[in-house]
Copies of this chain bind each other. A is one copy, B any other.
Amino acid sequence: MMREPYRIEARGLPERVTVYEVGPRDGLQNEAVTVPVEVKAEFVARLAAAGHRVIETTSFVHPKWVPQLADAAELLERVERVPGVRYPVLVPNERGLDRALEHGVEEIAIFASATETFANRNLNRTLESQFEMFEPVVARALGNGLRVRAYVSMCFGDPWEGPTPVAQVVSVGRRLLDLGCYELSLGDTVGVGTPGHVAALIGALAGDLGGPERLAVHFHDTYGQALANTLTALREGVTVVDASTGGIGGCPYAESATGNLATEDLVWMLHGLGVETGLDLPSLVQTSTWLAERLGRPSPSRVVQALGTAPDVKE
């Protein structure tokens, strides 16, 4: 069995891509099995050892909403920081920022909505008033020397409003960058994007912002489109791609949001295209196999299914 793809370069792609690993936060937050904090710490350590340079580690969201991440503070105490690796933490509001600052976090992510209905349902805000909530979070974070990333959820459509107008995403994205965020992660939270939509949205945003340098993409594989959409984003100049170990995770507040793009399937494509990632694919597969054993279910990643040993799933 092959452990690495053949490398055959394609025209018009970046030389290097940063894989922004969301497994410990976005991946685990939906898992039914409570994962012990020491397993999470080992998970983060394994990801760094496999070459990841940015690992979204946990979230300071209220445990009532995401019980799986109630151990955020303890996890941050346990994670041994590797020099050169960033460990951003999701922060929903000022209380979350306070806790992040107490625990030495150097980078946070905020979670915005591109649609009115999802802003109401997930943030209990209007599309407009979400910015009032984020403004002091971002300002205080920047004042404390932190970097702030902005997720923009439902960039392609949501289950209530249909397709999200491109101009609306551009407007939301522009305002988040104007607050001081360094990067937008364009989220296809319910997986409804297809490649033409991806090209149109990234083209419009890059036009407004003067280039794609501050754009990242975050695809879900609900309808099997995540990797084709990613390839399209790369052709539009995007060089940061969110992915989750083994394809675990999804959004707990969105109907039908299934797994994230699997890191291993993404890395297989990137290495096959000769795009550098700094990642060791066999180590990533080992980590997914190890994690699948702890979660008691096989990884949804095709690469892990092909290359990993079957997990010891207990009934």
A interface residues (Cβ-Cβ under 8 A, vs B): 1-2, 5-6, 8-11, 156-157, 159, 162-163, 191-197, 199-200, 221-225, 227-228, 230-232, 255-256, 258, 262, 265, 268-269, 272-274, 301-303, 305-306
Residues of B within 8 A of A256 (CB): 1, 306
A-B contact pairs, 24 of them (CB 8 A): A1-B159, A1-B255, A5-B192, A6-B156, A6-B194, A10-B232, A193-B272, A194-B268, A194-B273, A195-B231, A195-B269, A195-B272, A223-B302, A223-B306, A224-B227, A224-B262, A224-B302, A225-B268, A227-B227, A227-B228, A228-B228, A231-B231, A231-B232, A258-B306
Question: A194-B273, A269-B195 given as contacts; is B223 within 8 A of A303 (CB)?
Answer: yes
Question: A223-B306, A306-B222 given as contacts; is B228 within 8 A of A197 (CB)?
Answer: no
Taking a contact as CB atoms closer than 8 A, the residue among B2, B11, B197, B262 that contacts A192 in the complex is: B2
> Would A223 and B10 count as touching, CB distance under 8 A?
no
Closest chain B residue to A273 by CB distance? Answer: B196
Residues of B within 8 A of A191 (CB): 306
Closest chain B residue to A247 by CB distance? Answer: B224
> Would B258 and A163 count as touching, CB distance under 8 A?
no
Residues of B within 8 A of A1 (CB): 159, 255-256
> Would B265 and A224 count as touching, CB distance under 8 A?
yes
Report the Cα distance A6→B224, complex, angstroms. Answer: 15
> Would B8 and A194 count as touching, CB distance under 8 A?
yes
Copies in the complex: 2
Residues of B within 8 A of A274 (CB): 196
Residues of B within 8 A of A163 (CB): 6, 8
> Would A223 and B265 count as touching, CB distance under 8 A?
yes
> Would A269 and B194 count as touching, CB distance under 8 A?
yes
> Would A5 and B194 count as touching, CB distance under 8 A?
yes
Taking a contact as CB atoms closer than 8 A, the residue among B157, B193, B232, B268 that contacts A223 in the complex is: B268
Closest chain B residue to A162 by CB distance? Answer: B6
Report the Cα distance A301→B306, complex, angstroms. Answer: 16
> Would B222 and A302 count as touching, CB distance under 8 A?
yes
Most chain B CB neighbours (cut-off 10 Å) among A162, A200, A223, A303: A223
> Would A221 and B255 count as touching, CB distance under 8 A?
no
Distance in angstroms from A58 CB to nearest chain B CB is 27
Residues of B within 8 A of A6 (CB): 156-157, 162-163, 192, 194, 197
Taking a contact as CB atoms closer than 8 A, the residue among B157, B196, B306 that contacts A9 in the complex is: B196
